Structure 1
Amino acid sequence: MKSIGKLFKIGQRNLNKYLDMLAQVHGVTGSQLLAIKFIASNECVTQKDIEQEFHIKASSVATMIDRMVEKNIVIRIPRLSDKRVNEIHLTKAGEKINGIARNAIQMHDEVILQPFSAEERKTIIKFLEYVADDKINK
């Protein structure tokens, strides 16, 4: 039997390569593209939310947000109830990138799943959710 870990690593590398290629066209990184998608999918996002969602350090998130602010992709808005906390919002440019990327990612997912039946797709998604939820280590 093939190593599941090795297959995941190769698959992740291939997905990241596609994501980076897509992101580069829009002047962002793959990580920034995922953050844009996350911000667009949630009403109120803070730096802490991004740290927790992607399991990355505060300093890395701060740098990523700084770069996206410089590119006019996101803006920081101090939270009314606590001025120490900034909410991160997409600009019009960020919304445009998100729309284009969302469609491209959806098409890519469809291409990946195309060879499989509807039932197999459900099983694949269920398995990936299980692995992503890290049930093994809990």
Structure 2
Amino acid sequence: MKQPKIFYLLQKAHSALFRASDKILKQQIGLTASQQAVLFILTKGDGQPISAIAEQLKMGKSSLTGLVDRMEARQLVTRQKSASDARSVEVFITPTGTALVEASLSGTKRVNAALLEPFSSDERATIERFLKHVAEQADSIVQTHAKHEIPERNDL
């Protein structure tokens, strides 16, 4: 049996899902999927440093800083110096951010249910286990197994 092209399929699925999510979230409540993800994280634990949020989202810190800048301009979040570390800045969700994330929650739950609907409970558990495995082990797997053969200059 031919092995599926997991890397390609994950990239294709990620792009399709986030493109569709961005479109509907922007139309309905004016958020992007990335902004929604930041707000979800802050509802679970408000007042986190950008580095902690970036780690949870597997985003670069500079990319997330730009995203938080735009969210702050829209008054979805605020930044405050950390009480425990004067060098650190923490991000807090505003009432406007809370209202938008709450408005998006039911739709997100319906999309999650629809994505899993065609699968049995055993398949759903396998899908969850696989996705957690990828999220937690991607760096290690790629570093260990992605040895790219670089062709000689005259072969290019």
Into which bin does the TM-score normalised by the smaller protein fall? 0.7 to 0.9
Q: 1:88 maps to what in 2?
A: 91
- Extract unaligned runs of 5+ from structure 2: 145-156
Q: CA deviation at 1:22?
A: 3.3
Equivalent-residue separation in structure 2 for 1:22 and 1:84 (angstroms):
38
- Extract unaligned runs of 5+ from structure 1: none
Q: How does 1:1-138 map to 2 (within 5 A)?
A: 1=2, 2-25=4-27, 26-134=29-137, 136-137=141-142
Equivalent-residue separation in structure 1 for 2:121 and 2:58 (angstroms):
31
Give yes or no for contact 2:46–2:91 (8 Å, CA) kept in 1.
no
Equivalent-residue separation in structure 1 for 2:46 and 2:93 (angstroms):
11
Partner amino acid, structure 2, of 1:28: L
Partner amino acid, structure 2, of 1:11: A
Structure 1 runs (4+) greater than 4 angstroms displaced: none
Q: CA deviation at 1:51?
A: 2.2
TM normalised by structure 1 equals: 0.87
Q: CA deviation at 1:30?
A: 2.1
- By percentage of residues, which structure has more strand? 1
Equivalent-residue separation in structure 2 for 1:112 and 1:14 (angstroms):
13
Seq. identity, %: 25
Equivalent-residue separation in structure 2 for 1:123 and 1:82 (angstroms):
41
Deviation track 1:104-123 (CA, whole Å, cap 9, x = no partner) reads 11110100111111111111
CA RMSD of aligned residues (A): 1.8
Q: CA deviation at 1:67?
A: 1.0
TM normalised by structure 2 equals: 0.78
Deviation track 1:50-90 (CA, whole Å, cap 9, x = no partner) reads 22222333332222111111101001122122233222111
Q: CA deviation at 1:101?
A: 2.1
Equivalent-residue separation in structure 1 for 2:9 and 2:87 (angstroms):
43
**For 1:83, what is the secondary structure of its paired residue?**
coil
Equivalent-residue separation in structure 2 for 1:69 and 1:93 (angstroms):
11
